[in-house]
């Protein structure tokens, strides 16, 4: 099941009718996908970019840890209230998916899978945190879409991109993915890192052309590696640039 919100690269879709699921995940779930801890976020030396941010609470909660966070999503043009409404619909979609296939859609906990009701309540709380933070601090939320971001080269120490580039192959061709990855690398500091999750589509099929993408990135002097952050969770990490 997909998570983030965006439009087709280059603005070919309007944010009024996002073609992907908008969700509102909390910091701990979000960070676990990328293999990050709260302690690592606290120690981060430089600003962090979340692209696309959707209606996640990550930016608000990470900022409480002392991080400087900017979230980017074309859906921010709608305003936080409307995006939160769309995220509430996404929550209902996820609830149905969990009922049909809990093993696939419920994250693991220390002693088995999380309880569906408790898990979905974490989304409800995160959605409220997002809406309040985006309304109070609109400068931390930029309405923009890959493959063109409104930031200078090397602006961020860490860039995260969740459930977009590989989750929707019907929207992102290999060429689109390559351009987006180069843009994420461009706005990240030479000694920083980009992390992209997941490396499979919305039905769990892994990206078949990932080796070719990595070779093309290497040709443009962008190093990459694949990290395993948890069982079944693989992350593409870019950088540092040579």
Residue 10 is predicted with a pLDDT of 41
End-to-end CA distance of the chain: 35
Tell me: the pLDDT tens digits for 175-186?
Answer: 999 999 999 999
Tell me: the pLDDT tens digits for 138-168?
Answer: 999 999 999 999 999 999 999 999 999 999 9
> What one-character DSSP code corresponds to residue 138?
G
To the nearest 10°, the Cα dihedral for 177, 27, 40, 196?
-10
Contact by Cβ (8 Å): 181, 196: yes
**Helix intervals (H) in the chain:** 27-34, 38-42, 58-64, 80-100, 102-105, 116-136, 174-186, 210-219
Residue 111 is predicted with a pLDDT of 60
Residue 4 is predicted with a pLDDT of 38
Among the residue ranges 49-58, 90-99, 108-117, the one predicted with the least confidence is 108-117
Among residues 202, 206, 183, 205, the alpha carbon closest in space to that of 194 is found at: 183
- What is the pLDDT averaged over residues 73-101? 94
Give the β-pairing of 69-72 and 233-238: unpaired
Top pLDDT among 178 and 231 is at 178
Top pLDDT among 16 and 18 is at 18
Contact by Cβ (8 Å): 55, 24: yes
Distance CA 192, CA 44 (A): 10
């Amino acid at each position: 099941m997909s998570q983030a919100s965006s439009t087709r690269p280059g603005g070919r879709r309007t944010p009024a009718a996002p073609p992907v699921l908008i969700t509102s995940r909390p910091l701990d779930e979000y960070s676990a996908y990328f293999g990050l801890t709260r302690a690592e976020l606290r120690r981060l030396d430089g600003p962090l970019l979340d692209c696309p941010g959707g209606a996640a609470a990550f930016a608000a909660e990470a900022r409480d840890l002392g991080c400087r966070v900017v979230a980017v999503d074309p859906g921010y043009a709608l305003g936080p209230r409307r995006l939160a409404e769309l995220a509430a619909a996404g929550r209902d979609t996820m609830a149905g998916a969990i009922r049909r296939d809990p093993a696939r859609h419920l994250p693991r906990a220390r002693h088995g899978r999380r309880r569906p009701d408790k898990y979905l309540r974490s989304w409800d709380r995160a959605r409220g945190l997002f809406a309040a933070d985006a309304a109070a601090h609109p400068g931390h939320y930029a309405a923009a879409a890959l493959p063109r971001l409104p930031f200078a080269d090397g602006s961020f120490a860490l860039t995260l991109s969740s459930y977009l580039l590989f989750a929707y192959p019907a929207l992102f061709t290999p060429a689109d993915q390559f351009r987006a990855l180069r843009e994420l690398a461009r706005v990240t500091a030479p000694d920083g890192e980009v992390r992209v999750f997941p490396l499979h589509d919305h039905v769990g099929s892994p990206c078949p052309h990932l080796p070719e993408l990595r070779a093309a990135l290497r040709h443009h002097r962008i190093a990459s590696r694949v990290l395993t952050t948890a069982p079944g969770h693989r992350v593409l990490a870019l950088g540092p640039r040579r």
